[in-house]
Amino acid sequence: MKRLVTSLALAASLTAFSATGVLAADAGGPSSDDLLKSATNTEAVLTYGMGPQAQRFSPLTDLTADTVKKLVPVWSFSFGGEKQRGQEAQPIIYDGTIYVTGSYSRLYAVDARTGHKKWEYNHRLPDGIMPCCDVVNRGAAIYKDKIYFATLDARLVALNRETGKVVWNKKLQDYKEGYSNTAAPLIIDGKIITGNSGGEFGVIGMIEARDAETGELVWQRPTIEGNVGTLNGKDSTVTGKTNASWPGDMYKTGGGATWLGGTYDPETKTLFFGTGNPAPWNSHLRPGDNLYTSSTLAINPDNGEIKWHYQTTPHDGWDFDGVNEFVSFDLKKDGKVIKAGGKADRNGFFYVIDRTNGKLINASPFVTKITWAKGIDIETGRPMYNDDNRPGAPATADAHDAKGKSVFAAPAFLGAKNWMPMAYNPQTELFYVPANEWGMDIWNEPITYKKGAAYLGAGFTIKPLYDDYIGALRAVDPKTGKIVWEYKNPAPLWGGVLTTAGNLVFTGTPEGYLKAFDAKSGQEVWKFQTGSGVVGSPVTWKMDGEQYVAVVSGWGGAVPLWGGDVAKLVKDINQGGSLWVFKLPKA
Domains with residue ranges and CATH for the chain: 32-583 (2.140.10.10)
Sheet holding 407-409, edge to edge: 407-409, 438-444, 458-464
Q: What is the sign of the dihedral through the CA atoms of 54, 55, 61 and 63? A: positive
Burial class (CB in 10 A: 0-12, 13-18, 19+), 498: buried
Nearest to 554 by CA among 201, 232, 134: 134
Q: What is the sign of the dihedral through the CA atoms of 363, 368, 369 and 374? A: positive
- Distance between the two ends of the chain, CA-based, in angstroms? 50
Query: Can you give the pLDDT at residue 56?
Result: 98
Asked if residue 419 belongs to a known ligand binding site, the reply is yes
Query: Can you give the pLDDT at residue 398?
Result: 56
What distance in Å separates the CA atoms of residue 289 and residue 71, rounded to the nearest whole number? 50
Query: Can you give the pLDDT at residue 570?
Result: 84
What distance in Å separates the CA atoms of residue 175 and residue 198, rounded to the nearest whole number? 9
- According to DSSP, residue 137 is labeled -
Q: Is the separation of the CB atoms in 320 and 347 below 8 Å?
A: yes
Q: What is the sign of the dihedral through the CA atoms of 161, 166, 170 and 173? A: positive
- According to DSSP, residue 67 is labeled G
Q: How many CB atoms lie within 10 A of CB 336?
A: 8
Asked if residue 362 belongs to a known ligand binding site, the reply is no
Asked if residue 572 belongs to a known ligand binding site, the reply is no
Asked if residue 319 belongs to a known ligand binding site, the reply is yes
Catalytic machinery residues: 319
What distance in Å separates the CA atoms of residue 119 and residue 509, rounded to the nearest whole number? 29
Asked if residue 155 belongs to a known ligand binding site, the reply is no
Phi first, then psi, for residue 40 (nearest 5°) are -100, 0
Has this prediction a pTM greater than 0.85? yes
What distance in Å separates the CA atoms of residue 168 and residue 151, rounded to the nearest whole number? 13
Q: pLDDT tens track of the chain, all 587 residues?
A: 444 444 444 443 333 333 333 344 445 899 999 999 999 999 999 999 999 999 999 999 999 999 999 999 999 999 987 678 889 999 999 999 999 999 999 999 999 999 999 999 999 999 989 888 898 999 999 999 999 999 999 999 999 999 999 999 999 999 999 999 999 999 999 999 999 999 999 999 999 999 999 999 999 999 999 999 999 999 999 999 999 999 999 999 999 999 999 999 999 999 999 999 999 999 999 999 999 999 999 999 999 999 999 999 999 999 999 999 999 999 998 899 999 999 999 999 999 999 999 999 999 999 999 999 999 999 999 999 999 999 999 976 555 568 899 999 999 999 999 999 999 999 999 999 999 999 999 999 999 999 999 999 999 999 999 999 999 999 999 999 999 999 999 999 999 999 999 999 999 999 999 999 999 999 999 999 999 999 999 999 999 999 999 999 999 988 888 888 888 888 888 888 999 999 988 86
Nearest to 261 by CA among 327, 195, 212: 195
Phi first, then psi, for residue 299 (nearest 5°) are -120, 140
What distance in Å separates the CA atoms of residue 314 and residue 307, rounded to the nearest whole number? 19
Query: Can you give the pLDDT at residue 399?
Result: 52
Phi first, then psi, for residue 199 (nearest 5°) are -60, -25
What distance in Å separates the CA atoms of residue 536 and residue 554, rounded to the nearest whole number? 8
The three-point CA angle 225-415-513 to 5° equals 135
Asked if residue 389 belongs to a known ligand binding site, the reply is no
Q: What is the sign of the dihedral through the CA atoms of 563, 564, 570 and 572? A: positive
